[in-house]
């Protein structure tokens, strides 16, 4: 289940970054000085970090888990991001092919305040926080990742959807000239995903711009991705350029490609098997033994009421 944790119960510093780096950063954040003095996290680290992605300024969020984190190396090199290739290592190898500057995000559809924003203007009003979520892939493997971002509901409230808005559709970048996977007929490009409006408004639904305290790597969906922790990972669309409020359920990429295998909801559910494998267990990256899959990926207490009375086998 999801745990609201005060700072003393967050995962051990050594589980997130090298101890000598993390001690200084966490102490600074707890003192509230980083934001107050206008210092970036990187000023506390210097050359000690091995990563090449810029650090972010953020606070420690109230949501987390008591589980060890998946090592950053695994999180950034074992990925599904078909725009950059269909192999697990293809996204990290081809990450530089994704051009993220400049980047714009369009918000439109059934809303009172549509707009097209430069990424920096889109993000500027929203303070960032770190949230540690479980991530469960439909393929049967899982991770625990410290995301940095903000709740999607802030964007929705700013857009002011009308009474006709029942769903939110998300679209990723279309750039087949640079993205090798989009030159393959694996999916109908660009990649599209969607949520029911109440799912999108739920406080667990995150727009992420970073992980492990640093700017989101391209292979993980930089510069802006969705994180919906109670759904299978492919619902958390990467590299978002368009957010649209719709009256009808939006067609989504994997559901269009293989509707028998990938439903619109795609909630993590151990009782609903994939047509080609069971979903009762999962392999946590870095562990040898499989573990039981939790209903709604362990977030049933928080999100279960969204689906009260629904047949989750029919609406899978």
Q: Which pLDDT tens digit goes with each residue over 278-304?
A: 999 999 999 999 999 999 999 999 999
Question: What is the chain's length?
Answer: 316
pLDDT at 11 over 70: no
For residues 238 and 80, the answer to whether their CB atoms sit within 8 Å is no
User: What is the per-residue pLDDT across 39-57, written as a single tens digit (0 to 9) for each?
Assistant: 332 332 333 334 567 789 9
Q: Which two tokens stand for residue 312?
A: 């989750």
| pLDDT value of position 55 | 87
Answer with the residue of higher pLDDT: 20 or 185.
185
Q: How confident is the model at residue 109 (pLDDT cuts 50, 70, 90)?
A: very high
Distance of CA 165 to the CA centre of its chain: 23
Task: State the virtual CA torsion across 295, 5, 145, 97 in degrees, nearest 10.
Answer: 120
User: What is the per-residue pLDDT across 133-153, written as a single tens digit (0 to 9) for each?
Assistant: 999 999 999 999 999 999 999
| pLDDT value of position 262 | 98
Distance of CA 239 to the CA centre of its chain: 10
Q: Which two tokens stand for residue 235?
A: 């619902």
118 upstream amide cis, omega within 30 of 0: no
| pLDDT value of position 148 | 98
- In the block, tokens 């081809």 appear at 94
């Amino acid at each position: 289940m999801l745990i609201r944790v005060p700072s003393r119960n967050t995962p051990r510093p050594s589980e997130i970054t090298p101890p000598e780096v993390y001690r200084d950063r966490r102490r600074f954040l707890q003192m509230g000085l980083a934001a107050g003095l206008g210092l970036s996290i990187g000023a506390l680290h210097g050359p000690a970090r091995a990563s090449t992605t810029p650090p972010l300024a953020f606070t420690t969020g109230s949501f987390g888990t008591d589980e060890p984190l998946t090592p950053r190396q695994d999180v950034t090199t074992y990925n599904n991001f078909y725009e950059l290739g269909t192999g697990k290592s293809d996204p990290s190898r081809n990450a530089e092919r994704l051009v993220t500057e400049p980047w714009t995000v369009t918000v439109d559809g059934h809303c009172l305040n549509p707009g097209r924003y430069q990424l920096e203007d889109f993000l500027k009003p929203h303070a960032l926080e770190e949230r540690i979520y479980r991530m469960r892939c439909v393929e049967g493997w899982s991770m625990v990742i410290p995301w940095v971002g903000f709740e999607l509901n802030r964007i929705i409230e700013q857009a002011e959807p009308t009474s006709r808005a029942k769903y939110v559709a998300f679209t990723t970048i279309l750039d087949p000239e640079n993205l090798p996977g989009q030159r393959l007929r694996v999916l109908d490009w660009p990649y599209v995903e969607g949520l029911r409006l109440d799912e999108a408004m739920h406080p667990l639904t995150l727009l992420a711009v970073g992980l492990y305290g640093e700017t989101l790597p391209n292979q993980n969906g930089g510069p802006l991705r969705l994180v919906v922790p109670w759904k299978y990972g492919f619902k958390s669309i990467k590299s978002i350029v368009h957010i649209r409020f719709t009256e009808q359920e939006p067609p989504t990429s994997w559901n269009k490609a293989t509707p028998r295998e990938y439903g619109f909801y795609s909630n993590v559910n151990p009782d609903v098997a994939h047509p080609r494998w069971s979903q009762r267990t999962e392999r946590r990256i870095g562990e040898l033994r499989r573990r039981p899959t939790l209903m709604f990926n362990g977030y049933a207490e928080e999100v279960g009421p969204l689906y009260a009375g629904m047949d989750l086998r029919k609406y899978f």
